[in-house]
Structure 1
Amino acid sequence: MQREDRALAASPASPAPTGADAAGQWGLDPNTTLTRLLALNARTHGSRVALREKALGIWQEFTWAQVLDEVLAVAAGLEHLGFTAGDSLLVLGDNRARLYMGMLAAGALGGYAMPVYPDATPAEVLHFASEAQAHFALAEDQEQVDKVLELREKAPGLSHVVYDDPRGLNNYRVEGLIGWEKLRDAGAARLREQPALRNEIIQRSRPDGPAVFVHSSGTTGKPKGVVLQQRNVLAGVSNAFKGQVFGFEETILAYLPMAWIGDFAVTMAAGVALRFTINIPERSETVLRNLREIAPTLYLAAPRSWDNMLTTIRVRMEDSTPLKKRVFDRFVALGIAAERLKLEGKAPSTAQRMLLRLGEWMVFGPVKDQLGLSRMRVALTGGEAMGEDTFLFYRALGINLRQLYGQTESSAFNSVQAADEVRLHTVGRPLPGVDCRIADDGEILLRSGSIFSGYFQNEEATSKTLVDGWLHTGDAGYVEKDGHLVVLGRVSEVVRTAKGERYIPGYIENRIKFSPYVRDVAVLGTGRDHLCAMVCIDSEAVGHWAEVRGIPYISYADLSQKPEVIELVAGVIRHVNQAQPEGLRIRRFVNLHKEFDADDGEITRTRKLRRSVIDEHYAAVIQALYSDARSVRMKAQITYDTGDTGVIERELALKDL
Structure 2
Amino acid sequence: MESYETTLPALLAENARNRGGRTAIREKEWGVWQKSTWREYAVAVAEFAAGLESLGLGRGDIVILIGDNRPEWLFAELAIQSLGGMALGLYQDAPGDEIGYIFELSEARLVVAEDQEQVDKMLDIRKSAPALEYVVYHDPKGLASYKADGLKPFEVVRELGRRDRDDEALLTELAERAQQLKPEDPCLVATTSGTTGRPKLAVLSHLNLLSMAHNLGLADPKYETDEFVSFLPLAWMGEQMMAVASSLHFGFAVNFPEEPDTVQNDIREIGPHLIFSPPRVWENMAASVRVKIMETTRLKRFLYDRLFPVGLKMADARFEGRDPSTWLRFAYFCARHMLFNPLKDRLGFSRIRSASTGGAALGPDTFRFFHALGVNLKQIYGQTEIAGISCIHRDGNIDFDSVGEPIPQTEIRISEDGEILSRSPAVFLGYYKNEDATKETIDKGWLHSGDAGYFDDAGRLVVIDRLKDVMSLQDGTQFSPQFLENKLKFSPYVKEAVVLGRDRGYVAAIVCIDADIVGRWAESRLITYTTYQDLAAKDLVYQLVQDEICSINETLPEATRIRRFALLFKELDADDGELTRTRKVRRQTVWDRYGGLVEGLYSRTDAVNLEVQIQYQDGSLREMRGNIRIVDVQE
- Deviation per CA, 1:430-479: give whole Å up to 9, x if none: 11111111111111111100110211111111111111111111111111
Residue 450 of structure 1 pairs with residue 408 of structure 2 = no
Q: Is this contact kept in 1: 2:226–2:252, CA < 8 A?
A: yes
Q: What is residue 308 of structure 2 aligned with on the other side?
A: 332
**Partner-residue secondary structure (3-state), 1:542:** helix
Alpha-carbon deviation of 1:581? 4.1
8 Å contact kept, 1:76–1:191: no
In the superposition, relative to structure 1, how do residues 48 and 149 fare at CA in structure 2: closer, same or farther (>3 Å)?
same
- Which one of 439, 444, 449 corresponds to residue 468 of structure 1? 444
1:585 pairs with 2:526: no
The residue matched to 1:477 in structure 2 has which SS? strand
Offset of residue 626 of structure 1: 2.0
- Give the structure 2 partner of residue 177 of structure 1: 151
Residue 490 of structure 1 deviates from its aligned partner by 0.5
Match of 1:532 among 483, 508, 517: 508
Question: How far apart, in 2, do the equivalents of 1:572 and 1:621 lie?
Answer: 21
Question: Aligned-pair distance for 1:364?
Answer: 1.7
Aligned pairs, number: 631
Q: Which amino acid aligns with 2:348?
A: G
Residues 121-160 of structure 1: matches in 2 within 5 Å? 121-160=95-134
Partner of 1:240: 216
Question: Which of 50, 67, 70 lines up with 1:76 in the alignment?
Answer: 50
Q: Is the 8 A contact 2:287 2:490 kept in 1?
A: no
Aligned to 2:387: 411
SS of residue in 1 equivalent to 2:580: coil
Structure-2 separation of matches of 1:393 and 1:310: 7
| Residue 626 of structure 1 pairs with residue 610 of structure 2 | no
Cα distance in 1 for residues equivalent to 2:224 and 2:198? 37
Alignment partner, residue 41 of structure 1: 15
Cα distance change of structure 1 residues 485 and 543 upon mapping to structure 2, 3 Å threshold? same
Secondary structure of the residue aligned to 1:252 is: strand
Unaligned ranges ≥5, structure 1: 4-27
Q: Please state how far the C-alpha of 1:223 moved relative to its aligned partner.
A: 0.4
Report the secondary structure of 1:144's partner residue.
helix
Deviations 1:295-352 (A, max 9, x none): 1000111222122222222233233221122112222111111111222222222222
Superposition TM-score, scaled by structure 1 size: 0.93
Q: Is the 8 A contact 1:516 1:538 kept in 2?
A: yes
2:282 corresponds to which residue?
306
Q: What is the match of residue 63 of structure 1?
A: 37
Q: 1:197/1:418 Cα in 2 relative to 1: closer, same or farther (>3 Å)?
A: closer
Farther off after superposition, 631-640 or 110-119: 631-640
Structure 2 match to 1:85 = 59
Indicate conservation of the 8 Å contact 1:191/1:198, yes or no: no
Pair 39,109 (structure 1): closer, same or farther in 2 beyond 3 Å: same
Alignment partners' CA distance in 1, 2:10 and 2:527: 60
Structure 1 pair 414–590 and aligned structure 2 pair: CA distance change class (3 A): same
How big is the alpha-carbon RMSD for the aligned residues of Structure 1 and Structure 2?
Answer: 1.7
Structure 2 gap ranges (5+)? none
Structure 1 residues 532-580: Cα deviation after superposition (integer angstroms, max 9, x where no partner) = 2111111222223323333322221111111122122223333333444
The answer to whether the aligner puts 1:376 opposite 2:352 as a matched pair is yes
Counterpart-to-counterpart distance in 2, 1:29 and 1:432: 14
Q: Does 1:201 align with 2:201?
A: no
1:225 maps onto 2:197 in alignment: no
Check 1:610–1:175 CA distance in 2 against 1; reply closer, same or farther (3 A cut): same
Supply the distance in 2 between the matched residues of 1:45 and 1:607 (Cα, whole angstroms): 38
1:267-278 pair list within 5 angstroms? 267-278=243-254
SS of residue paired to 2:307: helix
Residues in 2 aligned to 1:414 and 1:250: alpha-carbon distance in whole angstroms:
23
Name the structure 2 match of 1:574: 550
Deviation, 1:503, is: 3.1
Judge conservation of contact 2:283–2:489 (CA < 8 Å) in 1: no
Equivalent pair of 1:211/1:233 in contact (CA under 8 Å): no
Return the match for 2:406 from 430, 453, 471: 430
What is the rounded CA distance, in whole Å, between the counterparts of 2:297 and 2:579 in structure 1? Answer: 40
Shift of 1:161: 0.8
* Paired letter, 1:201: R
Secondary structure at the counterpart of residue 599 of structure 1: helix
Q: For residues 569 and 250 of structure 2, what CA distance do their matches in structure 1 show?
A: 46
What amino acid maps onto 1:167 in structure 2? K
2:224·2:253 contact (CA, 8 Å) conserved in 1?
Answer: no
Q: Counterpart of 2:583?
A: 607
Task: Kindly provide the amino acid, as one letter, of the partner of residue 624 in structure 2.
Answer: I
The residue that corresponds to 1:18 in the other structure is none
**Counterpart code for 2:18:** T
2:369 to 381, 393, 417: 393
- Cα offsets for 1:69-105 (capped at 9, x unmatched): 0001100100110101111111010101111210111
How far apart are the structure 2 equivalents of 1:125 and 1:511? 34
**Alignment of 1:114 onto 2:88:** yes
- Counterpart of 2:320, as a letter, is E
Higher mean Cα deviation, 64-73 or 530-539?
A: 530-539
Distance 2:277 2:140 in 1: 31
Aligned to 1:347: 323
- Output aligned runs, 1:471-490, within 5 Å: 471-490=447-466
